[in-house]
Amino acid sequence: MEERIIIIGSNGQIGTELALALRSKYGQESVVTSDIRQPSVASAGPFELINVLDRELLKAMFDKYKPTQVYLLAAVLSAVGEQNPKMAWDLNMTGLLHVLDLAVEFKVRKVFWPSSIAVFGPNSPKERTPQYCTMDPNTVYGFSKQAGERWCEYYFNKYGLDVRSIRYPGLISWKAAPGGGTTDYAIHIFHEALSKASYQCFLSADTALPMLYMEDAIRGTLALMEAPAKNLRIRSSYNLTGISLTPQELSTEIRKHIPDFTISYKENDPRQVIADSWPSSIDDSYAQQDWGWKPEFDITALTNEMLTNLKQNLETT
Ligand code: NAD
């Protein structure tokens, strides 16, 4: 069956790479990208300027393209959400409900919506956090994702909507800038290692957080979207991880490439409080069993990829 795909919030860290992957798989014209802002480089296929909160315009876009798949990426991320909690709640909830309702109305075959490890909280187990456990997120981002998961499962159970979701950990990538999350240090550190050979980290040296290299995240997302529906036991959101790492471990790895690299640590950054409430590592055995999840990038491979690609970028700009 021919696919017509819409990505909402396509100009961000994930959308930039997801659009490339989906276009190379399904063809340029089959993937419509859309965002509230114009893309920084001209889109390789159809693009629509759209605010996901504007239901009428959103509906017109669904009507124009009659999508078979929709990926909703527009959201306010963790650190930015804490600066404007009501706005974060509104975008993360109303945007999702608009898309779920229109997906039912237009009989969209599959919807992808990302959740986050932020759905866990201070009383969730910290190590190898399981799929099902106490969840008491204390950021607006976290509880908007938790409520979003409930809505996704509800639309699946009540309306038969084929919604699929992943609780992404921190995503590490070099093609697009990160959007204001708590794990962004793991991207900034590479940029500054190359430009200044030093970095001041906003998280403490031993703050372990689950992370995933973007190439793995995109591969995993496509694998989930292609998996037979009958294999998917989870319609809220799948735990998923690549590796767990601390700023200190990452800086040790970077020093293997840039021996004079130094790292210092800023105290009392509000993002530390968020990081302290999140898991240090994740148990993603449901994703392994249901759709064959297996990450490819460890800390050595991702450090190598980040430095090589960012260095090439610096040399060509
Ligand atoms: P991002 O902030 O980089 O990109 C979000 C995009 O949405 C931006 O291009 C922005 O312009 C657009 N947008 C904002 N408001 C909009 C609106 N009203 N209408 C239409 N578009 C709008 O975020 P990202 O890192 O690409 O994350 C995408 C999704 O993945 C989010 O739901 C996020 O919560 C989730 N996620 C990301 C990470 C990560 O590490 N990047 C981790 C866990 C979950």
311: left (phi over 0), alpha (psi -120 to 50) or beta: alpha
Ligand 1: does its nearest atom lie under 6 Å from the Cβ of 78? Answer: no
Mutation probe of ligand 1 site: the residue of 7, 17, 35, 241 with most atoms within 8 A of C-beta: 35
Do 113 and 179 sit in the same domain of this protein?
no
Domain residue limits at 154: 5-120+136-167
Q: How many CA atoms lie within 13 A of 252 on its CB side?
A: 8
Ligand 1: does its nearest atom lie under 6 Å from the Cβ of 114? Answer: yes
The SS3 of residue 115 is: strand
Do 155 and 177 sit in the same domain of this protein?
no
Do 64 and 200 sit in the same domain of this protein?
no
Do 189 and 83 sit in the same domain of this protein?
no
Kindly tell me the burial class for residue 37, based on how many C-beta atoms sit within 10 Å of its own C-beta (0-12, 13-18, 19 or more).
exposed
Q: How confident is the model at residue 100 (pLDDT cuts 50, 70, 90)?
A: very high
Q: What is the pLDDT of residues 219-261, one digit of tens each?
A: 999 999 999 999 999 999 999 999 999 999 999 999 999 999 9
Could you tell me which residues come within 8 angstroms of residue 75 by beta carbon, excluding any fewer than 6 positions away?
A: 9, 91, 92, 95, 114, 144
Which two structure tokens, joined as six digits, stand for 18? 């997801």
Q: How many separate domains does the chain show?
A: 2
Domain containing residue 178: CATH number: 3.40.50.720
User: Is 311 contained in some domain?
Assistant: yes
User: Is 221 contained in some domain?
Assistant: no
Do 163 and 182 sit in the same domain of this protein?
no
Would the pLDDT of 317 be above 80? no
Instruction: Tell me what the mean pLDDT of segment 155-175 comes to.
Output: 98
64 CB neighbour count, 10 Å cutoff: 12
Would the pLDDT of 198 be above 90? yes
Across 169-183, 208-222, 232-246, least confident range: 169-183
Ligand 1: does its nearest atom lie under 6 Å from the Cβ of 116? Answer: yes
Q: How confident is the model at residue 314 (pLDDT cuts 50, 70, 90)?
A: confident
Ligand 1: does its nearest atom lie under 6 Å from the Cβ of 52? Answer: yes
User: Is 252 contained in some domain?
Assistant: yes
Mutation probe of ligand 1 site: the residue of 8, 48, 73 with most atoms within 8 A of C-beta: 73
Ligand 1: does its nearest atom lie under 6 Å from the Cβ of 171? Answer: yes
Ligand 1: does its nearest atom lie under 6 Å from the Cβ of 175? Answer: no
**What is the structure's pLDDT at 269?**
95
Ligand 1: does its nearest atom lie under 6 Å from the Cβ of 181? Answer: yes
Q: What percent of the chain has pLDDT over 90?
A: 95
Would the pLDDT of 185 be above 90? yes
Ligand 1: does its nearest atom lie under 6 Å from the Cβ of 88? Answer: no
Q: Which residue has the higher pLDDT, 307 or 42?
A: 307
Instruction: Tell me what the mean pLDDT of segment 99-120 comes to.
Output: 98
Do 46 and 157 sit in the same domain of this protein?
yes
Report CA(178)–ligand 1 centroid distance (Å).
9
Mutation probe of ligand 1 site: the residue of 7, 8, 13 with most atoms within 8 A of C-beta: 13
Which two structure tokens, joined as six digits, stand for 234? 């989870």
Do 144 and 252 sit in the same domain of this protein?
no
Q: What is the pLDDT of residues 277-300, one digit of tens each?
A: 999 999 999 999 999 999 999 999
Q: How confident is the model at residue 179 (pLDDT cuts 50, 70, 90)?
A: confident
Do 144 and 187 sit in the same domain of this protein?
no
The SS3 of residue 124 is: coil
Do 71 and 156 sit in the same domain of this protein?
yes
Q: What does the mean pLDDT of the chain come to?
A: 97
Q: How confident is the model at residue 78 (pLDDT cuts 50, 70, 90)?
A: confident
- As annotated, the active-site residues are 141
Q: What is the pLDDT of residues 120-158, one digit of tens each?
A: 999 999 999 999 999 999 999 999 999 999 999 999 999
User: Is 32 contained in some domain?
Assistant: yes
**What is the structure's pLDDT at 231?**
98
Would the pLDDT of 41 be above 90? no
Report the atom number in ligand 1 closest to the C-alpha of 10: 9
CA distance 284 to 293: 8
Do 42 and 180 sit in the same domain of this protein?
no
Contact between residue 117 and residue 125 where contact means Cβ atoms under 8 Å apart: no
Report the atom number in ligand 1 closest to the C-alpha of 115: 44
User: Is 153 contained in some domain?
Assistant: yes
Report CA(9)–ligand 1 centroid distance (Å).
6
Do 152 and 204 sit in the same domain of this protein?
no
DSSP assignment string, 254-301:
HHTTSTT-EEEE-SS-HHHHHHHTS-SSB--HHHHHHH-------HHH
User: Is 46 contained in some domain?
Assistant: yes
Longest alpha-carbon distance in the chain:
58
Report CA(78)–ligand 1 centroid distance (Å).
10
